[in-house]
Each structure stands twice: as C-alpha cells, then as structure tokens.
C-alpha cells in the first residue's frame, strides 16, 4: 500500500524532532501570496489560503516514490506586489519579495535542504516574477531546486496568464461564459475558499452580481481595450487595459461571478489544479525537469516588470495609488 505523504508544520517541531529529519529527503513547502481585498465576501488572505490549499492538496497526487518523502510546511509569507489598491490590502515592493525568499533559500541551503516548492495564487506579474527571480538566484548560487509552482503551472496551462478558462471549463457545474473575466474573487476563488475555509466566506456572496472590467467600462460608455495580435498599437492597448484594470479595482473589489460558487465545485477545481501541479513538480523532484525550465512565459521580460525605475514610471502611467505602489 502506498504511504501517505508526511506533512509537518515547521513551527510545530521541537529541536529534537527537527534533528531527526534528513534534510536531503525533505521537501520544504512555503506559500508566498498577499493579504489583499477579494470582494466584500472573501477573507483578505484568500490568495495565501488558496496557495497553501493547493500545495497540500498536491501531495495526494504525487507518484509513490515522492509520497514517501517528508514535507515541511513553513508559515505563509505575505510580501507581495500588484495588490488591489483598497484598504485592507498590504503592499510590498517586488524587491522585498526577492530578498525575503532569497534569504530563506540561502538559510535552507546552509542546513542541507535541497528542494523548495514556493506556492502562490496571485496573478500579479510583479509578484510571481519576483518569486521566480529569487528561486533562480537560490538555484544558481546554492544548488537548491527552488521553484515557483504558480509560474510552472501558468507556463503549462495558460500560456502566461491567470486565465483558467481552458483548464476548468469542462468541469461539471462550470459554464465557460461564467469564467470570462473571472480573475479575482469570482466563481473560481469563491468556490475554492468555500471548500478550504467555508466558515470564513460571507454568505452574502450569493447576492453578488457578475461584474468584470469589460462590463464596468461598458456601463460608462467606454470601449474595451482591443487585444488583437496584429494591431500595430498593441502596446498602447495593453497599457490602456492595465490602466482600465487599475481604475476598476480602485472602485470594485472583485471580478467575476461569485454567486455561482459552491464548495463542491471548489473541491473539483482544487483536485484538477493539484493533479496538474503534482505532475509538474514530480518532474522537478526526480530531476527530469531543471529549475531553469520552470519559468513563466513572462520571464524574458522580468527587467521591465521588476526594475524599480520602470516600476515607478508604470505606476504613474497607470494611476496606481502611492500607498499600494511597488
């Protein structure tokens, strides 16, 4: 019979219990996601709670050889950029995220740990690229296989976006039209939180109407930004789309259709994503996939997203409030 994965909480271990572990046989799990407003109905820690839930659920789907290892779960890290600019969100510079995770990786490497999986459920590029940069530096400087699970997943499943339409549209209880624009605190995230921490979800979620950036713009008589690949003004349209998103989230706190959510759907979503994550991470753990091949499609453009000067310019152009700016 296949052994159940052994999951231990780092902060619960005594020194004697810790010293009995073999670091080389352990896999360290840590979630790095923000404290951020997710509609009027979800807990502020939604992204971090989903990141932890996904990482723990993933262990069920690992191949037998990896299920026999010990998994050490660190407390969540909530240093993140690109948060919804509303009271309740906590914003950090991307460089802070890089330094925290880089220091963590260095400390783990010095104690003999060789595998670190960083989970996340926040699609802000200035956040997940910061995780990638830290993981890349730890791998190259210390030889630790430290990867961003989120980045690996979006590379394989969504071609670099946080849009899960193609992955989840075939699940029972999901209509593709419900997933359009469902990017923050909508059907997908509300369902997952109902499955993971149902007591923390405000029951008024069922009364919330569907809303997206596109419907918000339409209500104001403004056209939605074009996204055609052949458009010679693509960069300007992309900038306009980002600015529209910033304006939207200064006023609205969710995007999608949370009213259709359910705990049952949340379980199906978690199982689907965890199964895919387990398949990808097992390749890293058995050495068939190099950490250098675990980057998101945006990795080649990391300088544009993580450079402090360009970030300040972008914040001005997007109208991002100073209190939440990177």
Residue 205's pLDDT is what?
A: 97
Kindly state the percentage of the chain with pLDDT values over 70. 92
Among candidate residues 144, 87, 134, the one with its CA nearest the CA of residue 110: 144
Q: Distances in Å between the alpha carbon of 263 and those of 109, 142, 255?
A: 39, 41, 19
Which pTM value belongs to this model? 0.92
How many CA within 13 A on the CB side of residue 37?
16
| CA proximity to 259, closest of 53, 43, 39 | 39
pLDDT at 175: 83
The pLDDT score that the predictor gives to residue 227 is 56
Closest CA to 74 of 116, 46, 137, 40: 116
What are the boundaries of each domain within the chain? 6-162+273-324
Q: Which two tokens stand for residue 53?
A: 């839930």
What are the backbone angles phi and psi of residue 282, rounded to the nearest 5°?
A: -65, -30
Of 31-45, 59-73, 95-109, 238-252, least confident by mean pLDDT is 238-252
Q: What is the pLDDT of residue 12?
A: 98
**CA neighbor of 250 nearest in space, from 112, 84, 111, 121:** 84
Nearest residue to 30 (alpha-carbon basis) of 72, 82, 93, 89: 72
pLDDT score for 321: 76
Q: What tens digit of pLDDT does each residue of 122-173 get? A: 999 999 999 999 999 999 999 999 999 999 999 888 665 556 777 788 888 7
Q: Which CATH class is domain 6-162+273-324?
A: alpha beta
Can you spell out the DSSP letters for 8-31? EEGGG--HHHHHTS-GGGEEEEEE
User: 1 pLDDT band (50/70/90 cuts)?
Assistant: very low
Lowest mean pLDDT among 19-28, 102-111, 158-167, 300-309: 158-167
Radius of gyration of the chain (CA): 20
Kindly report, residue by residue over 26-70, the tens digit of the pLDDT.
999 999 999 999 999 999 999 999 999 999 999 999 998 888 899
HEC letters along 87-121: ECECCCCHHHHHHHHHHHHHHHHHCCCCEEEEECC
């Amino acid at each position: 019979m296949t052994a159940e994965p052994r999951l231990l909480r780092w902060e619960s271990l005594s020194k004697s219990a810790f010293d009995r572990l073999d670091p080389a046989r352990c896999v360290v799990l840590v979630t790095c996601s923000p404290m951020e407003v997710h509609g009027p109905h979800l807990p502020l820690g939604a992204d971090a709670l989903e990141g932890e839930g996904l990482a723990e659920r993933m262990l069920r789907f690992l191949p037998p050889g990896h299920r026999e290892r010990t998994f050490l779960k660190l407390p969540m890290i909530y240093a993140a950029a690109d948060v919804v600019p509303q009271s309740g969100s906590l914003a950090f510079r991307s460089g802070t995220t890089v330094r925290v995770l880089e220091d963590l990786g260095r400390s783990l490497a010095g104690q003999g740990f060789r595998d670190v999986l960083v989970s996340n459920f926040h699609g802000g590029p200035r956040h997940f690229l910061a995780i990638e940069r830290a993981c890349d530096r730890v791998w190259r400087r210390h030889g630790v296989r430290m990867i961003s699970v989120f980045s690996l997943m979006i590379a394989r499943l969504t071609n670099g976006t946080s849009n899960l339409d193609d992955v989840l549209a075939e699940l029972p209880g999901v209509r593709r039209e419900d997933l359009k624009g469902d990017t923050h605190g909508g059907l997908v995230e509300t369902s997952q939180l109902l499955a993971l921490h149902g007591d923390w979800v405000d029951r008024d979620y069922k009364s919330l109407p569907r809303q997206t950036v596109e419907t918000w713009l339409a209500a104001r008589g403004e056209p939605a930004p074009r996204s055609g690949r052949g458009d010679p003004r693509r960069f300007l349209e992309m900038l306009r789309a980002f600015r529209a998103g910033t304006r939207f989230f200064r006023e609205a706190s969710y995007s999608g259709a949370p009213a259709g959510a359910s705990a049952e759907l949340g379980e199906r979503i978690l199982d689907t994503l965890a199964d895919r994550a387990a398949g990808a991470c097992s390749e890293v753990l058995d050495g068939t996939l190099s950490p250098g091949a675990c980057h998101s499609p945006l990795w080649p453009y990391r300088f544009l997203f993580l450079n402090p000067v360009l970030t300040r310019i972008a914040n001005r152009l997007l109208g991002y409030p100073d209190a939440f700016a990177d």
